[in-house]
């Protein structure tokens, strides 16, 4: 096989089944690619060849015995560095966890392992998943493989870049306010955020516990659906995991979209939307109409309050979750003259500027005298935003919007202006607050060749319809090209 082969899950399974390549040789091919390209992209922080080759050898042994192969047999996968992996360093892209090695696998990782996946390594991200550009990593930024002078998006930029660059067939990312969908849009690959509770958070290092979700990146919608089929489902180790049956995504995405009502909220197409992004998304909507979908105009009146609501709630939860990193139990410890001094010195040296900023914002929002004015009020607005989605899904089957207001911006372009950086999440945080599933699917490119993503939202636990619409657009664009 050529080292430039664009592998997908079906082609990996076919090649292994016909013995055109072994799982070990395929793993070696991907490590060769990583060796060539990762120094320039910085998508991977840690490689795990010992575990990867052991997994590959297990699949080759099954093939030699003519056993039925599991669904992801031999598929090279990357894992975001905020998801626990037994025996593999998990840093959260932070100095405070630089040498931390988890003693267990996250549930999503354990399920991938049982499905036969091969874990290549851990991908770079914004520190503790806090950021929208992957410039907040303690180990340097990730570069966008489409345009190396630009960001890949964040916080799951390393996972998106690894797939877009052909350094993994699929990857896991996490999405708190857009951290899968926005990097998917910037790097030109599908990125799926499941319903809150669809995928277990057990083993995910918490940023904002009521918002964090694990989901896949892949080069095509079908592969994203295949990975979700493996990792989705109830987990008794996670009290927020929903006991809702996992449907047959492969069958759902194959169904025609004719007759589906597609909601288009005017609130997402206002001032601040890049004209080329608008044009690509409108063209995508027209393609869906050409496939028999009905366009339904919508108003989602609380959209304008989403950014403020999200950053109050997310920082408040971050303030609570990150209190555990104090130098006492695990991770970095910097000696101090007193216990309090040790706490302070450890956190000063261990946390980066963005994490410190969010901890302070969250602590302020939760403090006496401000809790009602900020945190409690934000929770009430969150309910109104969720109600917007509930009412919309009484009229439509899916909602389509731009994923991000602009294409990928240049490295360093927004680092001095946090508000502008936060506004890059304006179209993604709404679905995060409502807990609904969403996907970013490529819908075109700008004149300079930068990818543009269309976002598709669906009702709670209706990932099938989200994938169905995304797959229809993907196929329509493929036919048009």
CA dihedral of 24, 72, 479, 183, whole degrees rounded to 10: -90
Residue 76, H or E segment: strand 76-80
Q: Nearest-CA neighbor of 120 among 44, 197, 214?
A: 44
Strand, coil or helix: 262: strand
Say how far apart CA 401 and CA 249 lie, in whole Å: 22
Q: Widest CA span of the chain, in angstroms?
A: 70
Q: Is there a catalytic annotation at residue 179?
A: yes
Q: Is there a catalytic annotation at residue 159?
A: no
Supply the angle between the helices 221-231 and 463-480 in degrees, to the nearest 10. 160
Q: Are strands 76-80 and 170-175 parallel, antiparallel or unpaired?
A: parallel
Task: Tell me if 217 sits within 8 A of 140, measured CB to CB.
Answer: no
Say how far apart CA 87 and CA 72 lie, in whole Å: 21
Name the active-site residue from 22, 48, 84, 179.
179
Say how far apart CA 201 and CA 233 lie, in whole Å: 11
Q: Which residues of 446-477 are buried (b: 16+ CB within 10 A; e: fewer)?
A: beeebbbbbbbbbbbbbbbbbbbbbbbbbbbb
Provide the H-helix boundaries in 257-413.
275-290, 306-321, 339-350, 353-366, 377-392
Residues 6 or more apart in contact with residue 108 via CB below 8 angstroms:
83, 172, 199, 200, 203, 204, 214, 231
Residue carrying the six token digits 């899950």: 9
Nearest 5 degrees, angle CA 146-CA 148-CA 150?
90
What is the strand order of the sheet 294-298 is part of?
A: 44-47, 118-123, 76-80, 170-175, 213-218, 191-193, 438-445, 451-457, 398-402, 261-265, 294-298
Task: Tell me if 169 sits within 8 A of 189, measured CB to CB.
Answer: no
Question: What single string gives the DSSP state of each residue in 21-64?
Answer: S-HHHHHHHHHHHHHHHHHHH--EEEE-HHHHHHHHHHHHHHHH
Name the active-site residue from 22, 84, 94, 155.
155
Q: Is there a catalytic annotation at residue 229?
A: no
Other C-beta atoms closer than 10 Å to the C-beta of 61 total 11
Sign of CA dihedral 15, 16, 17, 18: positive
Name the active-site residue from 22, 80, 171, 414.
80
Provide the H-helix boundaries in 367-428.
377-392, 418-423
Residues with catalytic annotation? 80, 155, 179
């Amino acid at each position: 096989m050529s080292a430039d082969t664009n592998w997908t899950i079906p082609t990996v399974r076919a090649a292994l089944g016909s013995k055109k390549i072994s799982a070990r040789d395929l793993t070696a091919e991907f490590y060769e690619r990583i060796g060539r390209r990762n120094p320039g992209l910085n998508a991977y922080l840690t490689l795990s060849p010992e575990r990867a080759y052991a997994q590959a050898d297990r699949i080759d042994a099954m093939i030699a015995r003519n056993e039925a192969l599991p669904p992801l047999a031999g598929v090279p996968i990357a894992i975001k560095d905020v998801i626990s992996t037994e025996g593999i360093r998990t840093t959260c892209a932070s100095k405070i966890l630089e040498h931390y090695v988890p003693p267990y696998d996250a549930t999503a990782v354990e399920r991938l392992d049982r499905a036969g996946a091969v874990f290549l390594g851990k991908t770079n991200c914004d520190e503790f998943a806090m950021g929208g550009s992957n410039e907040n990593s303690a180990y340097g930024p990730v570069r966008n493989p489409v345009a190396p002078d630009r960001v890949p998006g964040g916080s799951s930029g390393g996972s998106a870049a690894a797939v877009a660059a052909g350094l993994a067939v699929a990857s896991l990312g996490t999405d708190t306010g857009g951290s899968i969908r926005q990097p998917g849009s910037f790097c030109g690959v599908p990125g799926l955020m499941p319903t809150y509770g669809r995928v277990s958070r057990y083993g995910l290092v918490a940023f904002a516990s009521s918002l964090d979700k694990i989901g896949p990146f892949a080069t095509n919608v079908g592969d994203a659906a295949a990975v979700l089929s493996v990792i989705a489902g109830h987990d008794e180790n996670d009290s927020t995991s929903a006991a809702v049956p996992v449907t047959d995504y492969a069958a759902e995405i194959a169904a025609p979209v004719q007759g589906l009502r597609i909601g288009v909220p005017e609130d997402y197409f206002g001032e601040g939307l890049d004209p080329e992004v608008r044009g690509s998304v409108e063209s995508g909507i027209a393609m869906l109409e050409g496939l028999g979908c009905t366009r339904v105009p919508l108003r989602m009146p609380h959209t304008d309050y989403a950014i403020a609501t999200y950053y109050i709630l997310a920082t408040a939860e971050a303030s609570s979750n990150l209190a555990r990193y104090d130098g006492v139990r695990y991770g970095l410890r910097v000696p101090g003259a007193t216990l309090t001094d040790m706490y302070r010195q450890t956190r000063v040296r261990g946390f980066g500027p963005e994490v410190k900023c969010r901890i302070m914002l969250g602590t302020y929002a939760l403090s006496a005298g401000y809790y009602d004015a900020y945190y409690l009020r934000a929770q009430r607005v969150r309910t109104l935003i969720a109600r917007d989605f509930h009412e919309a899904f009484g009229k439509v089957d899916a909602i389509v919007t731009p994923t991000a207001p602009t294409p990928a911006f240049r490295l360093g372009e927004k680092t001095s202006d946090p508000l502008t950086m936060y506004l890059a999440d304006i179209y993604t945080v709404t679905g995060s607050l409502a807990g609904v599933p969403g996907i970013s699917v490529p819908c075109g490119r700008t004149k300079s060749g930068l990818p543009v993503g269309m976002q598709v939202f669906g009702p709670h636990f209706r990932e099938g319809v989200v994938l169905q619409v995304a797959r229809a657009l993907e196929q329509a664009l493929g036919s048009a090209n």
